[in-house]
Amino acid sequence: MTWVRIVAWRLVFAVPLLLAVTFGMFALAKASPFDPVRQYLGDRAMTTSPQVMAEIRANWGLDRPLMEQYATWLGHLLRGDLGESRSLRLPVAQVIGERLGWTLLVVGCALALMLVAGLVLGTLAAWRRDSWLDRLVSGTAFANEAAPVFWVGLLVIWVFAVKLGWLPAGGLTDAAATAVTLLDLLRHLVLPVAVLAFSQSSWLLLFVRESVIGVLREDFVTGARARGLRERTVLVRHALRSALLPFITIMGARVPELVTGAILVEAVFSWPGVAGTTIKAALAVDFPLLAALTLLATVAVVLGNLLADLAYTVADPRVRVLGVS
């Protein structure tokens, strides 16, 4: 029943949050200096008469007041109608459905790699504090925090695809491929996953390092060593286990950064995911698609925080999450 109350409590805050985000999208679109009709027409906008452009605006409902546009869109959303993408000329639900799986594949693999690498390297750096290993790991993490994701992606493409020729530079398959094969998919998946995991691992690594260093000073760790337990047992079963409880909450709070990183990585590597489509929708002023993608990203953030709360109650049942337990 604890989980039910946590979910219900989160939903109480999620509904007004989603309404605020969606209304903010409409307000920004209304105030935007970019004309979606001109963007839709492209070069033809120079020769299209103002009357025809006004008719297109009326068909899209752009000439209506802001609240009327929002109420219409929200009503269609509640009926499961996300509208039609103006740039791709396809239903928004179809666009998202065809691309969401590829984004989940990249993000899931990157998340697993990030967790394993961050936990292992962070623990080793804390265990060998002030050693050459600690300085190397910490220095790389601090440098990575300052490096933009797209810059890391371009650097990796230049090294491993252009110079060494070991891996493809982007895309889902080779240009000459007629079907998606597992081996081809894995080759194209390596660089996007590695860049996304590397770009998002610094905060985790540094957090684990500092937490483990702090726990290693605690009395119960000193007592475990005094009882003659092996150093590996003390490090993994005592220090690391206690240091990871705050990490669960922080992991949920970092979901927005993971979403942003996925958008940039998919754009750099031309990965056909839903995250990279966000940039295309923004450049094309494709508001129906952009609104649905923004809503999807917000839902991902809310779910990430909800899962963090639920995981915290599993890890430590004594903790009261949001005042309900």
Does pLDDT of 237 surpass 70?
Answer: no
Task: Tell me the mean pLDDT in the region 155-179.
Answer: 82
CA–CA distance from 56 to each of 70, 113, 286, 312 (Å)?
A: 18, 48, 14, 51
CA–CA distance from 61 to each of 30, 39, 137 (Å)?
A: 12, 16, 55
* Model pLDDT, residue 324: 46
* Model pLDDT, residue 325: 44
* Model pLDDT, residue 193: 92
Does pLDDT of 166 surpass 50?
Answer: yes
* Model pLDDT, residue 36: 79
* Angstrom distance (rounded) from CA 34 to CA 37: 9
| Residue 228, CA atoms < 13 Å, CB-side half-sphere | 0
* Model pLDDT, residue 226: 72
pLDDT band, very low/low/confident/very high, at 322 (cuts 50, 70, 90): very low
Does pLDDT of 118 surpass 80?
Answer: yes
Task: Tell me the mean pLDDT in the region 251-262.
Answer: 75
Task: Tell me the mean pLDDT in the region 210-220.
Answer: 74
pLDDT band, very low/low/confident/very high, at 321 (cuts 50, 70, 90): very low
* Angstrom distance (rounded) from CA 93 to CA 90: 8
User: Which residue did the predictor score with more confidence, 277 or 250?
Assistant: 277
Token look-up 């939903």 returns: 11
